[in-house]
Amino acid sequence: MCGIVGYLGPRPVLPLLLEGLKRLEYRGYDSAGVAVRSPAGIQVCREVGKVASLEAKVGLERSRFAGTEGIAHTRWATHGVPAERNAHPHRDDKAGIHLVHNGIIENYTTLRKALESKGHSFQSETDTEVLAMLVGELYEGDLESAVQAALKQVTGAYAIAVMAESEPGVMVAARKGSPLMVGLGQGEYVVASDPSAIVAHTTQAFALEDFTVCRLSQDGWRTSNLHNAPVSPKVMELEMKLEEIELGDFPHFMLKEIFEQPEALRNTLRGRFNAEQGEVILGGLQQVGRDLVKARRIVLTGQGTAWHAALVTEYMIEEFARIPCEVQYASEFRYRNPIVEEGTVLVAISQSGETADTLAALEEGRERGAMTLGVVNVVGSSISRMTDAGVYLRVGPEIGVASTKAFVGQVAVGALMAIYAGRRRHLSIEATKHLLVELEAISDKIRAVTAQSDLIRDLVAKVVDRENWLFLGRGYNYPVALEGALKVKEISYIHAEGMPAAEMKHGPIALIHDGMPCVFVAPKGSQHDKVIGNMQEVRARGGRVIAIATEGDEAIVPHAHDIIRVPECPEALSPLLTTVALQLMAYHAAVLRGHDVDKPRNLAKSVTVE
């Protein structure tokens, strides 16, 4: 995943591109670059590292970048190490084509060989340079038709923005698989990977569809397919507000997003149930509700945090609706000859809606005849468009690479789907009303957890130098243990393992010694006594027990060295509270260890490659 931004209009372009890159930096940050059309021709600057490094470098020769048209890119390396030569924009060696790209050109080796045989020589190891070279090879004075012709030869995924040295005032963008939007301002255009780089300039925009090419010029814009037939995009009003994508008073997006969870959850739930009548109303599932209720089997799929939310959802669907349910990593599902019989419903869970493995799993399921549903945050994303129906999370833009509020939204939507199907199958009206009233109350209860942020930081400070942590939970809080371990790993670089608490004694207990942090996700619930038993086993071997426990639970006190309290709630909904405590633990561990919380090493916000 990479970030693209392009601008064509009357304003000085360099500050605008740098600002856009900063907003898109969550998409990848191992190198960055700009190409600006100046009176002396297109000027390029590329630098390894974050956008700030590029800004510093380009700032040294700012006058060279005076111009009002340009393209820019922030990279998450796929082909070739993070190095200046591999950073975008790439250019061809003949026609003065400059190109930025997000995606993967799958047949780039074949194309490269063909281009080399025609005498082209390459400076980088990237697939993108091959595309720039191909456009240059086909260029005969019309950038739009050269791009169309080149893309006909390409397999894979791309979002691109392109300029040609000899066509001032023209920019061409195109998309297949990777997202790209065009913002329409007053006599100006902003092309970007997502609306966050557009909304500061205009709220009128359209998303490019697959295989669409867009030509922007001072005279206007047009969109066409690869065969030059006109295509009419749907221009929309962007709903994203600037404050949603700005830090405000928070030091990091992750902390901001953790603290936003009460409001995010309210937005997820708003208008989707009536607790008094025990009714769940999911507009997005209206057409397929019957099929969901009658499903013979539900398969939930996703990756990372979304996969953990799927596990919680599985427990809820089986408990409330009694529909056989299973969770599969999308990356495994797509390759394992999965069983899809009549009545199988495949539900893809994803914050971004662009995760490559999840998209591929959906395609696989759809081809085998499954009804497909999406539980997605980003409106208009690929998953939301390719599924038969779905429910949006509505938690607002999530910018921190570590997913937080999306998890809460995913679990809440999972709960609504499970209660919706449950009520039409096995769940009594009383049980339904009770669950909905409790679900409604969770937002305020999350505040009680975030209010303990300082306490959690102090508690984490005691163990932050330890390199190995365990996370343990049972039932609904087993997936939470997995999620806690993932959060700690990805932003603090501490090795952490999550597992069902009972699994510990089948091997991992051998690791426990001398103050090893063992985090027990242990709110009150059906297996509470068993979890306390597991805590005793850890303490007996010298481990340090940190418990996430229900307010007022005194039974746990003698068994834990430290306790983080969460308000009481039904067991099935407890992940919505316990996870927040673990998010804060991970956040503070990362800050205490001095890491860049929002941009952890080697990662990017969404994984659009296999």
CA-to-CA distance for 47 and 526, rounded, in angstroms? 55
Rounded to 5°, the CA angle 122-123-125 comes to 85
Q: Is 351 in the site for ligand M6R (CB under 6 A)?
A: yes
Q: Which is nearer to ligand M6R, 419 or 486 (CB)?
A: 486
Q: Which is nearer to ligand M6R, 35 or 310 (CB)?
A: 310
CA-to-CA distance for 454 and 459, rounded, in angstroms? 9
Range in contact with ligand M6R (rule: CB under 6 A) among 172-180, 213-221, 396-404, 434-442? 396-404
CA-to-CA distance for 419 and 423, rounded, in angstroms? 6
Tell the residue number behind the tokens 């039904």, with chain if given: 570
Residue showing the smallest CB distance to ligand M6R in the complex: 304
* Range 460-499, binding ligand M6R (CB under 6 A): 486, 490
Q: Which is nearer to ligand M6R, 181 or 402 (CB)?
A: 402
Q: How far is the CB of 217 from ligand M6R (least distance, A)?
A: 34
Q: How far is the CB of 258 from ligand M6R (least distance, A)?
A: 12
Catalytic site includes residue 2: yes
The count of chain residues that interact with ligand M6R, using the rule CB under 6 A, is: 17
CA-to-CA distance for 535 and 502, rounded, in angstroms? 10
Nearest to 82 by CA among 43, 20, 125, 141: 125
Q: Which of 31, 126, 212, 358 binds ligand M6R (CB under 6 A)?
A: 358
**C-alpha torsion sign, points 36, 42, 43, 48:** positive
Q: Which is nearer to ligand M6R, 214 or 402 (CB)?
A: 402
For residue 236, give the DSSP letter.
E
Question: How many other CB atoms sit within 10 Å of the CB of residue 30?
Answer: 21
**What counts of helices (H) and strands (E) characterise the chain?**
18, 26
Q: Which of 352, 492, 534, 608 binds ligand M6R (CB under 6 A)?
A: 352
Catalytic site includes residue 530: no
Q: Is 395 in the site for ligand M6R (CB under 6 A)?
A: no
Q: Is 402 in the site for ligand M6R (CB under 6 A)?
A: yes
Q: How far is the CB of 28 from ligand M6R (least distance, A)?
A: 13
What would the two tokens of residue 98 be? 């400059």
DSSP assignment of 240-281 equals --GGGGS-TT-S-HHHHHHHTHHHHHHHHHTTSEETTTTEE-
Q: Give how far the C-alpha of residue 88 lies from the chain's centroid of Cα atoms, to the nearest Å.
A: 22
Q: Which is nearer to ligand M6R, 136 or 575 (CB)?
A: 575
Tell the residue number behind the tokens 């509505």, with chain if given: 394
Q: How far is the CB of 307 from ligand M6R (least distance, A)?
A: 7
Region of 22 please: left (phi>0), alpha (psi -120 to 50) or beta. alpha
Q: Locate all alpha helices (DSSP H) within 139-212, ordered by sequence.
A: 143-152
Q: How far is the CB of 452 from ligand M6R (least distance, A)?
A: 21
Residues 286-315 as x/- pattern, contact with ligand M6R by CB under 6 A: ----------------xxxxx---------
Q: How far is the CB of 496 from ligand M6R (least distance, A)?
A: 13
Range in contact with ligand M6R (rule: CB under 6 A) among 243-251, 397-405, 566-574, 582-590? 397-405
Residues with active-site annotation: 2, 605
Q: Which residues bind ligand M6R (CB under 6 A)?
A: 302-306, 350-352, 355, 358, 401-403, 486, 490, 606-607
